Amino acid sequence: MSKLEIVGLTKAYGKKIANDHINISLNCGVYGLLGPNGAGKTTLMRQIVALTKPTSGEILYDGQKIEVLDTKYRNLLGYLPQDFDAYGNFKILEFLEYMAALKDVKDSKAKINELMSLVGLQEVKGRKIAKLSGGMKRRVGIAQALLNNPKILVLDEPTAGLDPQERNRFRNMISNLGKEAIVILSTHIISDVEQVAKEIIMIKNGRVRIKASGKELLGKMAGKVFGIRVKDEEQIAEINEKYKIVNVQRGADYTNVRFISHSKPEIVDVWKEEPMFEDVYIEYFER
Ligand SMILES: Nc1ncnc2c1ncn2[C@@H]1O[C@H](COP(=O)(O)OP(=O)(O)OP(=O)(O)O)[C@@H](O)[C@H]1O
C-alpha cells in the first residue's frame, strides 16, 4: 500500500511559522485536515502537492523524496486549490478537455463524461465557468482534480459553497475515492469529515494537535462533557470563567449550558453529556 510520510515539515514565511515540525504518515483512505483560519492547512497541502518548498523537513512517497520523484510524483496528484476560480472564460466541457490534455489523460472523452456525471455537471457542461455558482465551480474543481485517477488527492476546502444536498453527494463520492487513494481534504466544518474520514488531523498554529479516528476523538472526551440548567446570565459568565462552553441552548423557559471540564465540575446539579464532535472541536481549538 502506498505511503506518504511527512517528516519534520516546517514552513516559515519570514517570522511566521505556518507549519511547525509536522510529522504524519498517511496511506489509503480519507484524512480530514481540520483547523481554524490561519492554522496552516493550505500551507501543508501546497507542500504535499509540491507547489511550495518546505523551509525544512521532507515529504516521502513510498520512501522516496518527492522532489527526487519529481514528474513521477506530480503525475500521481490531483489537487483542488482553495482559490480555484480562474479559467472563467472557459465553458465547463472546454476546461475539462483542456486540463485533460495538460495532464495527458488517456481516453479523455470517456473520463470527462464519467466525471461530469459523478459531480452532476452533465446538464450544464456548455456553461461558462464565470457564470457558475460557488458550489458548481467547486464541482468543476473536483472533476478536474480527478481527471488523472490520482493516487494522492488533495482538496482544499472542497465543500465551501456547496449546499447540503451537494455536501452529501460529495461525502459519498469521497468515501469511494478513499478506497483506492490517499485523500486529504481540509475544512473548518467537522461534520464534513466525521463520517468519511479514517482519521482527523487537527492542526492549530501550524502544529498537529492530534491525529486520530473520529471514534478515538470522541473517546477522549468521554466523562468531560457536562450540562447544566442555569438561572441567569451571571451563572453563564461564571461557567465561562472556569470551563470551556460548547453551546448555550435557550428554550422558552429554560437555558441549558453545555461545557467541558477535565475534572468533576465544582457546581451542583450538573449532568454528564455524551460527547459529540462539536465538543472535540471546542476542546482542541478554543482557548
Ligand atoms: N505566502 C505567504 N506569505 C506570508 N504568510 C503566509 C503565506 N501563506 C500563508 N501565510 C500565513 O501562514 C499562516 C497559515 O496560513 P494557511 O493559509 O496555511 O492557513 P489555513 O489553515 O489554510 O487557513 P484558512 O482556513 O483561512 O485557509 C497564516 O498566518 C497565513 O497568514
Task: Note the pLDDT of residue 279.
Answer: 94
Which protein residue's CA is at the shortest distance from atom 6 of ligand 1?
13
Residue 15 has pLDDT above 70, yes or no: yes
Strands 29-34 and 182-187: parallel
Distance 5 CA to ligand 1 centre (A): 22
- Whose Cα sits closest to atom 31 in ligand 1? 38
ipTM of the complex: 0.97
DSSP SS3 for 50? coil
Task: Report the 10 Å Cβ neighbour count for 38.
Answer: 13
Atom number, ligand 1, closest to the C-alpha of residue 206? 14
Atom of ligand 1 nearest to the CA of 14: 4
Indicate if ligand 1 lies below 6 Å from the C-beta of 81: no
State pTM to two decimals.
0.91
Q: In angstroms, what is the span from residue 154 Cα to ligand 1's centroid?
A: 17
Q: For ligand 1, say whether the CB of 158 is within 6 Å of any of its atoms.
A: no
Give the pLDDT of residue 209.
94
Q: Give the Å distance between the CA of 186 and the centre of ligand 1.
A: 13
Per-residue model confidence as pLDDT tens digits over 92-137: 999 999 999 999 898 999 999 999 998 889 889 999 999 998 888 8
All 3 cell numbers of residue 131?
Answer: 457564470
pLDDT category of residue 286 using cuts at 50, 70 and 90: confident
Percentage of the chain modeled with pLDDT above 90: 74
Cα four-point dihedral sign 176, 178, 181, 187: positive
Contact between 34 and 70 (Cβ < 8 Å): no
Q: Which atom of ligand 1 is nearest to the CA of 188?
A: 25
pLDDT in tens, 201-238: 999 999 999 999 999 999 999 999 999 999 899 999 99
Catalogue the E-assigned strands of the chain. 3-13, 16-27, 29-34, 56-61, 64-65, 77-80, 152-156, 182-187, 199-204, 207-212, 225-229, 244-250, 255-260, 270-272
User: What's the pLDDT at 160?
Assistant: 82
- Which residue's CA is the closest to the ligand 1 atom numbered 26? 37
Rounded to the nearest angstrom, the distance between the alpha carbon of 137 and the centre of ligand 1 is 22
